[in-house]
Amino acid sequence: MILKIVKYPEPVLEQPGEPVTEFNGELRKFVADMFETMYASQGIGLAAQQVGVAKRVTVIDLSLGKDPAEKLVLINPEIILSEGRQYEEEGCLSFPEIREKVVRAAKVRVRAQDENGKWFEMDGEELLARAFQHEIDHLDGVLFIFRMSALKRSLNLRKIRKMQSEGIW
Ligand code: NI
């Protein structure tokens, strides 16, 4: 089932997610719906807040659904190591049309649970490292506009207000 993706400034986007404690059929259905929703919007990452649910659940797939081996489910994830620096352009399904360079660590290691509750660790570099950091930020209620410089943020907020006034946001 394709879920509705909420856009900024929907308050749930800035709400930190509750940890998941029950790994049941309902959770697995939610994860499957999140993948379906993300693929329908051509995204590479989606956090639960973006479909209106403040829980620590995110899905990532850099292959856009082409390679099942690239499907990642991260539940209750945390970054346990980060190193280096990268400065690349990011987008976000809750900010259509907005793309901006954001500073991130170049490499990170995440610790997370899968949809059965099993803990695992995984390293990511470059785009995958950015996806991990962007999505885990979402779970903390942190949006990528708050990772931009103050100038870029105000320019983008102005752009959003203009789109809102034109009824295209
Ligand atoms: Ni996002």
Instruction: Calculate how far, in angstroms, residue 141's C-alpha sits from the geometric centre of ligand 1.
Output: 10
Q: Please list, residue by residue across 53-86, b when 16 or more beta carbons sit within 10 angstroms of its beta carbon and e when fewer do.
A: bbbbbbbbbbeeeeeeeeebbbbbbebeebeeeb
User: Taking all residues of the chain, what is their mean pLDDT, rounded to a whole number?
Assistant: 97
Domain residue limits, the chain: 11-165
pTM listed for this prediction:
0.97
Query: Is 151 in a helix, a strand, or coil?
Result: helix
Catalytic residue positions? Answer: 135
Instruction: Calculate how far, in angstroms, residue 26's C-alpha sits from the geometric centre of ligand 1.
Output: 23
Residues of the chain with pLDDT under 70: none
Handedness of CA 85, 91, 95, 100 (dihedral sign): positive
Instruction: Calculate how far, in angstroms, residue 28's C-alpha sits from the geometric centre of ligand 1.
Output: 21
Which pLDDT score, from 0 to 100, does residue 34 have? 98
The environment of the single-atom ion ligand 1, i.e. residues with CB closer than 5 A, is: 92
Answer yes or no: are the C-beta atoms of 48 and 136 closer than 8 Å: no
Instruction: Calculate how far, in angstroms, residue 30's C-alpha sits from the geometric centre of ligand 1.
Output: 18
Domain 11-165 is in which class?
A: alpha beta
Which pLDDT score, from 0 to 100, does residue 148 have? 95
